[in-house]
Structure 1
Amino acid sequence: MLDEVTFDIERGKIREFVLATHAGDTVHTSVEAARDAGFPDVPATATHVVVAGHYRDQRAFVAKLGLAYDRVVVGSVKWTYFRPLCAGDSVRGVRRVAADTRKRNLRFVTLETDYLDAAGDCAVRVREVLIERGAQ
């Protein structure tokens, strides 16, 4: 395990994501519309778990990996949902290194984070690839 973070899925934060991403579906802002669509409460937008970054010490985990923070870019991010996250959910994100490879003057670190719900089931898995450019 690389690190762990916990946070609540809050209705107000969902609304902020809706405004920022221009999500037009009212299920994200109206409890009534969400329930009519079969959700227990308003569902989070697809990329909501990026909120975890606000609870993590990003520089610390980059240092733990032995990466140079100023030479790292995000190469890709993929979200896999096993169930929607809705307002009122609490999640625990457990991040691990899935792969660490070098090619030419680049290092590719693939991270996987499982966001576990209160029952311990994985609701969302995020796979991201960090790319460290070699020193010039």
Structure 2
Amino acid sequence: MIDRRYIGHTLAPFSVPVEAGRLRFFAKATGQADPVYTDVAAARDAGHPDLPVPPTFLFCLEMDSPKPAAIRELLGLDYRRLLHGEQQFSYHAMAYAGDVLSFEQRIEDIYDKKGGALEFVVRRTRVSNQHGALVAELRSATVVRNG
């Protein structure tokens, strides 16, 4: 069983610059046809100061953590038994190319189902920009298959 004392544990925050080239690549990879996500002039014509960050791109930036396996290592989780359970995004402000986003990860909950056959680790990440404004909250659940 995963030690529940880690509920509330926070990891060291980290920051990631939002690069226009990565935004264009992501738009292409996800089939985004709207030029607002690839052309600065189109973005500005639409009222944006630069290329906007597409909604799920924050998950990609979160993976730029200096220690992407920090929670797994902290909890002693065997990656061969892990499943991606769910993911949610709550948006509060837009982010753009040129911003520097800070990520603060926290273990929000650890619980089990089916008599411990499945354990869940819920992570909440607060994302803020270089001005300290809250951009988004990311919530993710990892499932550990036991037995």
TM norm structure 2: 0.85
TM norm structure 1: 0.92
The answer as to whether partners of 1:110 and 1:130 remain within 8 angstroms in 2 is yes
Give structure 2 stretches of 5+ with no counterpart: 1-9
How many residues align structurally? 135
The 3 A distance-change label for structure 1 pair 3 and 67 is farther
Partner Cα separation in structure 2 for residue 110 and residue 64 of structure 1: 14
**Paired-residue identity, %:** 30
Shift of residue 62 of structure 1?
A: 0.5
Structure 1's consecutive aligned runs of 4 or more residues displaced over 4 angstroms after TM superposition are none
Once the two structures are superposed, residues 37-93 of structure 1 have per-residue CA deviations (whole angstroms, 9 ceiling, x without a partner) of 111101011111122213342333201123222211111111111112110110110
The answer as to whether partners of 1:63 and 1:69 remain within 8 angstroms in 2 is no
Shift of residue 29 of structure 1?
A: 1.0
The structure in which a higher percent of residues are strand is: 1
Give structure 1 stretches of 5+ with no counterpart: none
**Equivalent residue runs for 1:84-103 within 5 Å:** 84-103=94-113
Partner Cα separation in structure 1 for residue 97 and residue 70 of structure 2: 29
In structure 1, which of residues 15, 28, 31 is the aligned counterpart of residue 24 of structure 2? Answer: 15
What is the root-mean-square deviation in Å for CA atoms of aligned residues?
1.3
In structure 1, which of residues 95, 120, 123 is the aligned counterpart of residue 135 of structure 2? Answer: 123
